[in-house]
């Protein structure tokens, strides 16, 4: 196996994302968990840049790393106290989580090992303009993204209003 710079960077990003994912769900401080999530999203954008998907990587940074994590941190700081920590897991929840993790890993391994990956030599690059991407994102047809975008915006609005109501009661 030949190790090129792209391969080394990919493995570094994969390990970085995996470590940050584990730290996101295992830390007891909620603000630290949101910070680790930010690092995961930046690592994902790094993989997109590595693959040459610059538009998707910049959207990842602007929308998720920029907007969503700021909303999480804003909501956390608005609704929680200074010393808030996550509760300790009960043994039953820990066992259920480990069982779900093992079941998910078995499913992923089964799908990965049973799939035949076809190698393609020198795929032809497809040039897509920003206008085409914009029409696809804002269209309401079968492959359009306007409905999921609006659903996410309503969900975020509901989270902000809920956070304000919780903070106002205090």
A 10 A CB-CB count for 98 gives: 10
Q: Mean of the per-residue pLDDT values for the chain?
A: 83
Distance CA 15, CA 8 (A): 11
Asked if 69 and 38 count as a contact pair (C-beta separation under 8 A), the reply is: yes
- Please tell me the predicted confidence (pLDDT) of residue 135: 80
- Please tell me the predicted confidence (pLDDT) of residue 15: 95
Closest CA relative to residue 49, chosen from 8, 3, 9: 9
- Please tell me the predicted confidence (pLDDT) of residue 21: 93
Task: Spell out the domain ranges in the chain.
Answer: 1-102, 128-169
Distance CA 67, CA 153 (A): 11
- Predicted model pTM: 0.59
Query: Which of the two residues, 157 and 133, has the higher pLDDT score?
Result: 157
pLDDT, average across residues 108-113? 92
Using the predicted structure, report yes or no on whether residue 54 has a pLDDT greater than 90.
Answer: no
Query: Which of the two residues, 86 and 153, has the higher pLDDT score?
Result: 153
* DSSP letter (8 states) at residue 29: B
- Please tell me the predicted confidence (pLDDT) of residue 63: 83
C-alpha pair distances (Å), 131 with each of 28, 62, 65, 136, 144: 45, 19, 24, 9, 14
Query: Which of the two residues, 169 and 38, has the higher pLDDT score?
Result: 38
Asked if 24 and 33 count as a contact pair (C-beta separation under 8 A), the reply is: yes
Question: Which tens digits make up the pLDDT trace of 4-19?
Answer: 898 899 999 999 999 9
pLDDT, average across residues 126-139? 81
Distance CA 39, CA 45 (A): 10
CATH fold, domain 1-102, is: 1.20.120
Asked if 36 and 24 count as a contact pair (C-beta separation under 8 A), the reply is: yes
In which band, very low, low, confident or very high, does the pLDDT at 102 lie, cut at 50, 70 and 90?
very high
Query: Which of the two residues, 105 and 82, has the higher pLDDT score?
Result: 105
In which band, very low, low, confident or very high, does the pLDDT at 149 lie, cut at 50, 70 and 90?
confident
């Amino acid at each position: 196996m030949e190790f090129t710079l792209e391969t080394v960077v990919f493995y570094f990003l994969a390990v970085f994302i995996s470590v940050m994912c584990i730290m996101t769900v295992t830390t007891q401080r909620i603000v630290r968990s949101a910070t680790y999530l930010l690092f995961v999203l930046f690592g994902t954008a790094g993989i997109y840049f590595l693959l040459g998907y610059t538009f998707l990587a910049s959207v990842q940074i602007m929308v998720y790393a920029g907007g969503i994590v700021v909303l999480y941190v804003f909501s956390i700081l608005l609704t929680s106290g200074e010393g808030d920590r996550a509760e300790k897991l009960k043994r039953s929840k820990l066992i259920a989580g480990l069982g779900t993790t093992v079941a998910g890993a078995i499913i992923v391994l089964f799908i990965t090992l049973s799939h035949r990956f076809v190698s393609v030599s020198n795929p032809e690059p497809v040039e897509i303009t920003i206008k085409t991407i914009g029409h696809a994102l804002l269209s309401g047809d079968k492959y359009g993204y306007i409905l999921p975008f609006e659903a996410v915006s309503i969900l975020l609005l509901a989270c902000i209003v809920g956070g304000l109501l919780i903070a106002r009661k205090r």
